[in-house]
Amino acid sequence: MKTILITAIVLLFSLQTAAQSAGSIGITDARSVAMGKTYTAASQGLGGLGTNPATIFNRKDTTRKWEIITVLPLPQFGMKVGTNFLSIDEFNYFFGESSVNADGEKVGRYLTADDKTRLTNLFSEGGTFQTDLQATLFAISFKPSAKAGVFTFAISDVFGSNVTFPKGLVELLMNGNTPGDVFNFNDTKMQAWWLRKYSLSWAHGMTFLPKVFQDFNYGFSLNIVSGFFYVGIDKMNSQFSTGAHNALTIKNDFMAHSSFSPDFGVEYSFDSSSTKTKASPGPFPSPSGMGFGFDFGFWGKINDVWSAGLSFTDLGSVKWKENVAEFQANSEVLITNLADTNQTKDLGDKLTGKNESKFIDAITTSLPSAMHIGVSFQLDKFVKGYFPGKMLIVADYNQGFNDQLRNSKTPRISLGAEWIPTNWILSFRTGFSFGGFDKFGWGAGAGLDFGFLELNGGTPDFHYLFMPNGAKRVSFAFDSKWKF
């Protein structure tokens, strides 16, 4: 009974606190995704948005001055939903499988001691569930001449969330609590946001170190960011302990913030003065936060075989000013008798910080700032015509400067390739990614180029098609681009 009570309390304050760009690991365009999320030296045209603005200057077909991304025939859309620790097989084993008892009733799996240890170990490095959705609503790029450079405008949306369940909660559920046990929940994390980015970019070519580079480009993007909601736990320092005679001590110390567009009609439990408003967000809600970001990058062609790129993306922040709530609690509760209402009275309010939570003027969150370094190798040029078509081989090093959504301070290295057979409009792509949140990914995809129209599709987790029950996430991207 006490274990159930503790579990309910943990879920209560862990969830109640939140009740209310590309970064280094985020989903990008379909071509890059198929090549293992490798892009710094290989992107072309609008593919350089959010990754390396210098490559916007490059055109696959130099005679075409315009590139446009719209919702037709395919919108530019990417999605990743899943975890980095729990496969479908493991989920079904621990949570999805059931059997029928002698009375004909469906019952869940009874976990053995080894099962409990195995499940607890799965959470040893953090049980994180992640969602990453990215869509380009509209983008247009115009290159009047090489001398003038390339001018680009784009509108894109990003929705992301990260939720990390504490290992202490899993240990509590698996083993219960006995005198002397201490369960720590400091590793609880939660963050989510919806951002819309308006990007103005310019890229240009120049002569730079002519003995090193045949061609050299540089590019900049100014990103005006509208935020429609933000939720995040900033501090979690809470624990349960069981003492003599089953006395329960709850130490609760956390802080979280949230901000929502006025159009969402969100109400906070601590605000007794609020009047119920009807939610009417629509596709263009009023922002609750505004900010600015900055991307800049360089690309150099060393010779017909080798090229290199360097970029810095999402340098900036968002300031949230509408309906900003601060949830906090700093309390210690001792329960020696669960039947004593004097001890359990107002327990929920104490743990969720209802009496200490309040509105504040504003909070500021960083964008997923990151650095990208890449090289490309044109194999068909290296073998001088002895290859059937065009073969591009690329490699990237990606380093996030923070652990914001779509980002990771754990470095990510990727290697990719694109093959276009001679006289074909079809291209084949694949690549591998190591590090970051996902730890490993095998990307694959293809593209069709009709000259005036490109269609692309790919996934960074192609290997899960061969082992669907071992899949930890679902991820893909597709897009189309008009050229004339």
Q: How far apart are CA 350 and CA 256, in angstroms?
A: 15
Least confident window among 20-29, 114-123, 186-195, 474-483: 20-29
pLDDT of residue 62: 84
pLDDT of residue 127: 84
Sign for the CA dihedral angle at 219, 449, 419, 428 comes to positive
For 222, 355, 469, the CA distances from 61, given in Å and listed in that order, are 26, 63, 42
Mean pLDDT, residues 275-282 taken together: 67
Q: How far apart are CA 373 and CA 311, in angstroms?
A: 7
Domains and CATH numbers, the chain: 2-85+123-483 (2.40.160)
pLDDT of residue 329: 84
Listing DSSP states for 285-301 in one string gives PPPSEEEEEEEEEEEEE
Give residues with Cβ within 8 angstroms of 214, minimum separation 6.
301, 302, 303, 304
* Neighbour-count burial of 155, counting CB atoms closer than 10 A to its CB (0-12 exposed, 13-18 middle, 19+ buried): middle
Higher-scoring residue by pLDDT: 393, 166:
393
Q: For 408-426, what is each residue's pLDDT tens digit?
A: 999 999 999 999 999 999 9
419-434 in b/e burial notation, b at 16+ Cβ within 10 A?
A: bbeeeeeebbbbbbbe
Q: What's the whole-model pTM score?
A: 0.88
The pLDDT of residue 72 is above 70: yes
The pLDDT of residue 338 is above 70: no
The pLDDT of residue 324 is above 90: yes
Higher-scoring residue by pLDDT: 272, 199:
199
Q: For 133-189, what is each residue's pLDDT tens digit?
A: 999 999 999 999 999 999 999 999 999 999 988 888 777 777 777 777 888 888 888
